[in-house]
Amino acid sequence: MIPESFINELLNRVDVVDIIDKRVPLKKAGANFVACCPFHQEKTPSFSVSPSKQFYHCFGCGAHGSAIGFLIDHDGLNFIDAVHELAKVAGLTVPNQIDEKPEKKKENLVLEDALILAKKYYQTKLKGSPLAIKYLKSRGLTGEIAKEFSIGFAPEGWNNLNEVFKDYDNDALIKSGLIVKNDKGKRYDRFRNRIMFPIYNAKGQLVGFGGRVIDENDTPKYYNSPETALFQKSYELYGLLAARKAIREKGYVLVVEGYMDVVSLAQHNIRNVVATLGTATTNFHIKKLMRYTPEIIFCFDGDNAGKSAAWRAMNNSLTSVTDEVQLKFLFLSDQHDPDSYVRENSKEQFEGLAKNATPLTEYVIQYLTQNNDLTSQEARVKFLNEVEPIMDEMASSKLAFLFKKRISVLLDLTLNEIDNLIKVKNKKTLKAPMQQLKRQTTSVVKRFVILLILNPKLIEKSDKDISWGESLDEQLAQACILKILVDENHNTASIFHYLSNRFDNDFIDEIKSQVLNFDEEISPINEFIGLREKIKQSKLQASNKSKLDAIKHKSFDTLTPEEKKFLKEFTKR
Ligand SMILES: [Zn+2]
């Protein structure tokens, strides 16, 4: 790992404006620089680069990041190469691996390092397991593909990871999801006798594992790392990092059911493929994919599980699908999954199926009419009832209109009649206030963090002594405060880099987009001080409440002097 202090120095040394200007010529506009966005098609510039924040941000497609992020997304470099490239520009030498202080090492072990060490271990074990190799071969996978996806093997046995981690009791191992502690406090390896698939996020950070059984009697068949600070299933997509280039080249992405599908399609050189990780497709997934392509094709197995996964994916996508995006559905026949289909037919035939996949609205109609012939009035009412919430959710106004039209033809009704029957609200007037409402409900703590990142000078030493809790927002607040207090050289980009090593990327992205969209005309000082006061107050109330709860059940005589004093002061107010 490249030491974080170096990344920090790098982000303070290079100028994101220079870096981007060499690739995308920028024009000065007020305090910032602008250009037409290199990440989406546009005629008027909505791509903005801030020299003070050392960040770029596109108001059109939402692309954003630091100088490192730009080299990754624009030049297609991986993280390490991007750092080397920037170091060259800045005249710095990238220091060699792990030379950090021991206490820092321990903290870092909490996150990625533990996973990286485990990954290496699993890979070694795969080489030594004829059984696991045989299984992968039976699925048609070659050694090259196994290596490319860093596939490994977790052997049988309860404490194998002890070989890698001498300190098996380290809580980091539990926090990273590698080790489980049972009710009696006994610790054991989470993954046993499974093929291991490392899961990377889109930035190339190892965030977790998926494990598939090789003994078909074991359950569950697929088993993933639990949610951790780094890994949140509703955000991550397996294979996205490796698939990005192919997605851009092909112009569409295939979303399949599992990591085995991704790997076996890669084996047939179909590489624009990602998978969800044991959850339904969420609107976060859709939004993430929309950054890379306007065409998303779901390819699920033809069995019942596949069908209901597709229906859920459709429902979860509706609010994210804009007029610029096409969602399609591809169903293979009952006996096939993507892998078996390609093996029996060909890559070309599979891609042909993808090209002819069913568009979203057509899929909805097919699904709802498979057991409904629409011949009776009752059947038509049932259909309208089912279709109404779907139309209601559709974020794309054009699509919603065309969908309605299609339904009116299907039911032999005029558009007016449909409108009267289902009273679809006008999306445009409905969406705006809802978004505003959402902004207002940003938690107090989150808002505190956002203002702090924008104005690190407002920090006070005592901010770290607030009794921060365990919620994600409060962990974020603590991390920000520590970073700013410990390190005098910081800018927005280096603060975010620090945070992205400690938290889920999409969580941080959400904070980033609020920081980048912040109206710079507003002076935040009073608001910030107010928020700090509010947080302290609510902490005090919570602490009083728990003290009071503890006292409530005791008789007055048994109270300690402190408790009596507390009670007296509390009742005085
Ligand atoms: Zn853009």
DSSP class per residue in 402-444: HHHHHHHHHHT--HHHHHHHH-PPPHHHHHHHHHHHHHHTS-H
CA of 546 to the centre of ligand 1 (A): 49
Neighbours of ion ligand 1 (CB under 5 A): 37, 39-40, 58, 60-61, 63
pLDDT above 70 (res 423)? no
For residue 289, the 8-state DSSP code is: H
Q: What is the pLDDT of residue 350?
A: 95
Q: What is the pLDDT of residue 124?
A: 96
Query: 240-366 belongs to which CATH class?
Result: alpha beta
Q: How far apart are CA 371 and CA 373, in angstroms?
A: 7
Q: 52 in helix, strand or coil?
A: coil
pLDDT above 60 (res 99)? no
Nearest CA to 194 out of 207, 209, 176 is that of 209
CA of 335 to the centre of ligand 1 (A): 42
CA of 117 to the centre of ligand 1 (A): 37
Percent of the chain at pLDDT exceeding 90: 35
Question: How many CB atoms neighbour CB 484 within 10 A?
Answer: 20
Percent of the chain at pLDDT exceeding 70: 93
Q: Name the residue ranges covered by the structural domains of the chain.
A: 4-90, 102-224, 240-366, 371-437, 448-547
Mean pLDDT along residues 446-464: 90
Helix 415-422 crosses helix 397-411 at what angle (to 10 degrees)?
A: 100
Mean pLDDT along residues 144-148: 95
CA of 436 to the centre of ligand 1 (A): 22
Q: What is the pLDDT of residue 97?
A: 56
pLDDT above 60 (res 107)? no
DSSP assignment of 228-260 equals: -SS--TTT--BTHHHHHHHHHHHS-EEEES-HH
Give the pLDDT confidence of 367-394 residue by residue, as tens digits: 999 989 998 888 988 898 899 889 888 8
pLDDT above 90 (res 561)? no
372 alpha carbon, distance to own chain's centre: 38
CA of 439 to the centre of ligand 1 (A): 22
CA of 35 to the centre of ligand 1 (A): 10
**Residue 560 vs residues 430, 542, 545, 546, 564: alpha-carbon distances, Å:** 58, 20, 17, 16, 6
User: Which of the pair, 56 or 323, is modelled with greater confidence?
Assistant: 56
**Residue 115 vs residues 129, 151, 161, 380, 520: alpha-carbon distances, Å:** 21, 13, 11, 54, 40
Q: What is the pLDDT of residue 573?
A: 62
Query: 102-224 belongs to which CATH class?
Result: alpha beta
Name the H helices within 251-302: 259-267, 283-290
Mean pLDDT along residues 79-102: 76
Give the pLDDT confidence of 12-46 residue by residue, as tens digits: 888 999 999 999 999 998 889 999 999 888 888 98
Q: How far apart are CA 231 and CA 59, in angstroms?
A: 27
- Burial pattern 422-431, b for ≥16 Cβ within 10 A else e, equals bebeebeeee
pLDDT above 50 (res 500)? yes
Nearest CA to 431 out of 294, 282, 513, 322 is that of 322
CA of 39 to the centre of ligand 1 (A): 5
Instruction: Decide the pairing of beta strands 47-50 and 32-35.
Output: antiparallel
Question: Which CATH number among 3.90.580.10, 3.30.360.10, 3.40.50.300, 3.40.50.620 corresponds to the domain 4-90?
Answer: 3.90.580.10
CA of 260 to the centre of ligand 1 (A): 33
Among 62-76, 512-526, 542-556, which is the least confidently predicted range? 512-526
Q: How far apart are CA 449 and CA 515, in angstroms?
A: 9
Nearest CA to 471 out of 544, 547, 551, 542 is that of 542
Among 98-102, 517-521, 533-537, which is the least confidently predicted range? 98-102
CA of 45 to the centre of ligand 1 (A): 9
Q: What is the pLDDT of residue 436?
A: 36
Q: Which pLDDT band holds residue 136 (cuts at 50, 70, 90)? A: very high
Q: What is the pLDDT of residue 74?
A: 86
Q: What is the pLDDT of residue 175?
A: 85
Q: Report the chain's mean pLDDT, rounded to a whole number.
A: 85
The dihedrals phi and psi of 33, each to the nearest 5 degrees, come to -120, 150
Q: What is the pLDDT of residue 110?
A: 57
CA of 566 to the centre of ligand 1 (A): 57
Q: How far apart are CA 435 and CA 521, in angstroms?
A: 21
pLDDT above 90 (res 170)? no
Nearest CA to 528 out of 446, 472, 437, 435 is that of 446
Mean pLDDT along residues 312-324: 85
473 close to 34: Cβ distance less than 8 angstroms = no
Mean pLDDT along residues 219-237: 85
Nearest CA to 97 out of 221, 174, 197, 6 is that of 6
Say what the pTM is: 0.62
Q: What is the pLDDT of residue 430?
A: 40
